Amino acid sequence: MFENLSDRLERSFKILKGEGKITEINVAETLKDVRKALLDADVNYKVAKQFTDTVKAKALGMDVLTAVKPSQLMVKIVHDELALLMGGDSVDVNITGSPAVILMSGLQGSGKTTFSGKLAQLLKGKRGKKPLLVACDVYRPAAIEQLKVLGEQIGIPVYSEPDCKNPVQIAQNAIKQARQDGQDLVIVDTAGRLAVDEEMMREIKAIKDAINPNEILFVVDSMTGQDAVNTAKEFNDRLDFTGVVLTKLDGDTRGGAALSIRTVVNKPIKFVGTGEKMDALDVFHPARMADRILGMGDIVSLVERAQEQYDEEEAKRLQKKIAKNQFDFNDFISQIQQIKKMGNLKDLASMIPGVGKAIKDIDIDDNAFKSVEAIIYSMTPKERSNPELLNGSRRQRIAKGSGTSIQEVNRLIKQFDQTRKMMKMVAGGKMGKMMPRMKR
């Protein structure tokens, strides 16, 4: 996401490299470039103009400390303004009350159904909610089916009334049902159309008036750029929604919608969808997004994801095994599973400052672990827990079984042995003893 814009902004800042101080002229030149970069990223032109005007006023009005280079100062100002443009602070989803009710709105194909599933899973897992998903699309039976399949996949009940043609009634009945069953969160997925149309607007407005939701989230495909912003405006004029969800940010290299929508409708972006899988959902943090746009990575989100997967008991158990030199291939594979649970590898790597740009053209996907997994799964349980058993003929068998080569198997085992030695040294305190010698 945002790759093109990141590159362009970086080039704009180069104009200031080597300049001793900020002047009217070099600021104007840099900002002309920044404005072009924003327009090429499909940012609304009024938003782009306002943005560069503000940055200019700030840059010229600043007492430039000699310790700070003009280019660094400009990056800092642009960063802070980008964060403000996207809303400043992040705004939490409102799930108070029982049941809390969230209504989805948006065009067909924007990703409403997918997001409904993702949100239900997120709020169940992180906030301990008991969600009920509601299928209110009375025109497309396939849409009801899609929600049911998702619900089953994530273990969340789905309410539907296939024979009822009145979405208002379905939504009301669903809320009643949730109350009876002790479900404290109702997520209502609605019908969309391919373009804004009067009947759809009337229908969703009627649902809103009948169920009085905590949140009305407008879901929009970020890849549609300026169209996304225009649609947002139309929906907001009619519905006065409470928040925006930008989907498909994984495919959006420009980012215009993310940058303009907040200013145009004055409603916070609350979530972003970054893939088709159920866990590809991020809470939206404007400052962190600004970090990413400027190629500064997003180390905070990376650490948070790691913490979510961190299992203290498991860590203690591993520590003990490592100290006794008992770390085996079962532990190895469970570590790989942990990393995979954190999400898409490329996405993770791009959160490390400086790494995102370096790897943007490299193909890294979750298949990276495939051959390692195949090799380990081709070992017998006994071999996995006693890697010393792995002699030549066993290695041959494993290579064959995993569809890899003997070289690959040897390499993995060698790496594993080295890792194990290193771990033992650290856990056994040898590192500590080595330290004073290294200092000398």
The least CB distance from residue 68 to ligand GDP, in Å, is: 38
For residue 69, how many C-alpha atoms fall within 13 Å in the half-sphere facing its CB?
10
Cβ closer to ligand GDP: 111 or 286? Answer: 111
Residue 218's beta-bridge partner residues? 105, 244
By CB under 6 A, residue 270 contacts ligand GDP:
no
Neighbours of 362 (CB within 10 A): 8
By CB under 6 A, residue 286 contacts ligand GDP:
no
By CB under 6 A, residue 346 contacts ligand GDP:
no
Select the residue whose beta carbon is closest to ligand GDP and give its number: 273
Contact code string over 112-131 relative to ligand GDP, x by CB under 6 A: xxx-----------------
Neighbours of 209 (CB within 10 A): 9
By CB under 6 A, residue 141 contacts ligand GDP:
no
Of the chain, the end-to-end C-alpha distance in Å amounts to 48
Contact present, 133 and 187 (Cβ < 8 Å):
yes
By CB under 6 A, residue 387 contacts ligand GDP:
no
Q: Residue positions in the annotated binding site for GTP?
A: 106-113, 189-193, 247-250
Contact code string over 197-236 relative to ligand GDP, x by CB under 6 A: ----------------------------------------
In terms of DSSP bridges, do strands 215-221 and 100-105 run parallel, antiparallel, or are they unpaired?
parallel
Residue 244's beta-bridge partner residues? 218, 269
**Residue that is written with structure tokens 């649609």 in the block:** 231
By CB under 6 A, residue 109 contacts ligand GDP:
yes
* Structure token pair of residue 334: 């469970």
By CB under 6 A, residue 252 contacts ligand GDP:
no
By CB under 6 A, residue 267 contacts ligand GDP:
no
Size of the site for ligand GDP (CB under 6 A): 18
Cβ closer to ligand GDP: 143 or 379? Answer: 143
Identify the CA nearest to 1 among candidates 246, 226, 255: 255
By CB under 6 A, residue 151 contacts ligand GDP:
no
Report helix, strand and coil shares of the chain as percent, to nearest 5: 60, 10, 30
Cβ closer to ligand GDP: 251 or 432? Answer: 251
CA 401 vs CA 53, 201, 284, 332, 371: distances in Å: 64, 58, 44, 19, 11
Residues of this chain that interact with ligand GDP (CB under 6 A) are 106, 108-114, 192, 247-248, 250-251, 273-276, 280
